[in-house]
Amino acid sequence: MKIRLMLGLCGALGLSAWWVTCAAGPADRPSAGNLGATASGAASLDTAASATRDSLGGKFLDCHVHTAGLGVSGSGCFVAPALKGSYKFPLYLKAFGVKEKELREQGDGVVLDRISALLSRSGTMGAAVILALDGVADSAGGLDTARTQLYLPNTFIANETRKHANLRFGASINPRRAYALTELDRVKAEGALLVKWIPSIMDIDPSDSAIIPFYRKLKELGLPLLTHTGTEHSFLEAKDSLCDPFRLELPLSLGVTVIAAHVGTPGKSHGQDNMERALIMMGRHANLYADISSLTQINKLGYLKRVLEAKESRGRLIYGSDFPLIETALVSPYYQTGRARFAKLRSAAKIENTWDRDVALKRAMGVPEDVFRRSAELLLK
Ligand SMILES: [Zn+2]
């Protein structure tokens, strides 16, 4: 029952229900103070980013890690009142290794402290991209709090990741926000390695020609777009048609580097597997990559093998974990019995560190070494 309830959580991690609205409301825009700090820190952050690839010390970069916040300590994190009180709350806190009391006493940054500490004990993973999550835009280009289910502001993620040598900033900007283009400049200066979207809950149609200036700016700044593809079930509402990989034709044709999260899994669009549609798009566009996060989840059995066998995926897959979901009952090496040598699955299951276990499991399932290396090669160049 527990596992069934958790299916399809990826997206924004299904943090849904439990993130309590910040008393101060969402931090819609950065303060002048933050902007000042940004400009002065830009050069050093750029240097730090390029140095990081070397400083990974032969370890890998995880391109897809979630955090969360209760909105305490002025973090600006926001969750729709309708999503409060979910059964997921204790499950996720456990996966993050934090208690609600700690969050309330120490602030939302404590989650990133725990992620960093856990990561520092990994023998395989040197750093992780922590993903912000923007919300739905209203007609004036502001944050539509009534339609936003979950909001993790760029400023919070940028400030917290800066405190940890092994965490990197993954920004999120709804292109329909009035400040979208200037925010792109700002997050780039803050050291963002990519921009993350979940079109189905942020109400973004990637094929909308109104987004062209945003795509051009992404390309100009060299920021890849990591965008959810496939169906999403962790929120109250999701417009799944917006996560059809075929909708990525526009940014790809404009030369944006796009990373299709989860290789389109799961679900179908127009009667065809979204995974097949992602692979078709990879065959058409050399600038389309895909992350392998969530492909070991119990609701996605069999997909990873199909992806690895497809010639279109060669040289285009990058490592992502979707932490904290790898630390929940959604993932176990034993679910892959019959798809990999049992001795390898058993030894993977014995590994305590969640990233080391994830890498061992994916290696057991045939993920080649270049996939683990490619996240850093693509994002830290
Ligand atoms: Zn995710």
Q: If we measure between CA atoms, which residue out of 74, 205, 78 comes closest to residue 132?
A: 78
CA 65 / ligand 1 centre spacing (Å) = 7
Q: What angle do CA 265, 286, 245 make, to 5 degrees?
A: 30
pLDDT digits (tens, 9 = 90+) for 319-342: 999 999 999 999 999 999 999 999
Q: Is the pLDDT of residue 156 over 80?
A: yes
Domain segments of the chain as ranges = 2-379
CA 33 / ligand 1 centre spacing (Å) = 31
Say if CB 143 and CB 28 are below 8 A apart. Answer: yes
CA 107 / ligand 1 centre spacing (Å) = 23
The answer for residues whose C-beta is within 8 angstroms of residue 379's C-beta and 6 or more apart is: 61, 63, 129, 168, 193, 194, 224
Chain centroid, CA 195 distance in Å: 9
CA 342 / ligand 1 centre spacing (Å) = 28
Mean pLDDT of the 78-106 span: 79
CA 146 / ligand 1 centre spacing (Å) = 23
- Fold of domain 2-379: TIM Barrel (3.20.20)
Weakest mean pLDDT among 67-71, 268-272, 283-287, 339-343: 67-71
Q: What is the pLDDT of residue 238?
A: 83
Identify residues whose C-beta is under 5 A from ligand 1, the ion. 10, 322
* pLDDT, greater one: 311 or 102: 311
Q: What is the pTM of this model?
A: 0.87
Mean pLDDT of the 155-163 span: 97
